[in-house]
Amino acid sequence: MTSTLRAALGSVVVVAALALVGCTSSDDRDAPPTPASPSPTAPQELTPETIRTVPSDRVFPGGLAVDPDSLASRAQVQLEAAGDDEQASAAGVIAAQPVAMWIGDGYDAAQLVSVVTTYLDAAEEQGSTAVFVTYAIPDRDCGNYSAGGLTAAEYPAWSQTIADTLSGHDAVVIVEPDSLGMLDRCPQLAEERIPLIRQAVEGFEAAGVPAYLDGGNSNWVPPRTMAERLRAAGVEHARGFFTNVAGFYPVDEEREYAERVSALTGGSHFVIDVSRNGRGWKGTWCNPDGVGLGQEPHVAGGTRGLDALLWVKTPGISDGTCNGGPEAGAWYPSYAEGLVSRRSEKDD
């Protein structure tokens, strides 16, 4: 999981029917013709030409899938076996929601295909859309708690394998959280990183897979700077961008910010992570006290640029070895319990 976030402001730009025919009898030859019923409109296909223009319910047909083998569901089983009923119950609350699946650099090609396909199969059984997160960009997290990633030579083939596996399926990809926002902290990575992201996004576009790029959050990178980075990283080949991943800012703040970025990037659509923003920002990004689950994830009604409110960050896993937490990506049972107990009751 990500430890993500928070850096100083700055700018990096890198130059990128069948018509039904009825038989009439002699008795009704003189009757006025019956108007033909209109043919149902087929869903618009997702192609490189339509990814940015179709309505949100076509990007997320059937709504959001629930991963039956999520980190939360596995934690629930383990906690029940250990007799920790309250913490198991909290994990179960999280497991019942559609949470994005994160794909890191710990798989070989065959394992990568298997992991992605397994979730796709589960989503198709539900008649809904799987949401994936790619998280293996070189020098991920700029050496912080979630440091790691592939090499620049390995990354393109890794990302293309995911694109090829998703092709022809209902799926969405959140591309590399923090990869653009964090360039203030490690600007030396921009020259290598931005072309890698652009290549990945072009691969998803060619496969007919809607992708969203890193848009930071409302209290990080100024909209104009973020728009410059998004354009350089190929946002015109993506559905749009995401904000607030692993963050805590309220929806209204994020939406106002995202609409400004959207206007600067040709009307890009956007999604907002609401997994842990139920109580707002508490002064730190790393396992902060007093935070709660946000509203339940759902596809938006198509108003303006907002496509969906998602749980991208998996609530209940640690941001890192801070504020008493285990290593980044490990389940944090007491923290999950607190998130559930302080969940938002707001239903936007």
Q: Write out the chain's pLDDT in tens, 348 residues.
A: 444 433 333 333 333 332 322 333 333 333 333 334 333 444 567 999 999 999 999 999 999 999 999 999 999 999 999 999 999 999 999 999 999 999 999 999 999 999 999 999 999 999 999 999 999 999 998 877 788 899 999 999 999 999 999 999 999 999 999 999 999 999 999 999 999 999 999 999 999 999 999 999 999 999 999 999 999 999 999 999 999 999 999 999 999 999 999 999 999 999 999 999 999 999 999 999 999 999 999 999 866 899 999 999 999 999 999 999 999 999 999 999 999 999 987 544
Q: What pLDDT is stored for residue 302 in this prediction?
A: 64
Handedness of CA 55, 130, 97, 276 (dihedral sign): negative
φ, ψ (nearest 5 deg) of residue 235: -60, -25
DSSP 279: T
Q: How far apart are CA 129 and CA 117, in angstroms?
A: 13
C-alpha closest to that of 193 among 240, 140, 145: 140
How many residues in the chain?
348
Q: What pLDDT is stored for residue 303 in this prediction?
A: 65
Q: What pLDDT is stored for residue 147 in this prediction?
A: 80
Phi-psi region of 19 (alpha: psi -120 to 50; beta: other; left: phi over 0): beta
Q: Where are the alpha helices (DSSP H) in the chain?
A: 56-59, 71-81, 85-95, 109-126, 155-166, 190-206, 223-232, 251-263, 333-341
Within 8 A by CB and 6+ apart from 233, the residues are 14, 16, 180, 194, 197, 198, 201, 213
Q: How far apart are CA 289 and CA 110, in angstroms?
A: 40
Domains and CATH numbers, the chain: 55-341 (3.20.20.40)
Q: How far apart are CA 267 and CA 260, in angstroms?
A: 9
Residue with tokens 């009898």: 25
Catalytic residues: 141, 178, 319
Q: What pLDDT is stored for residue 148 in this prediction?
A: 85
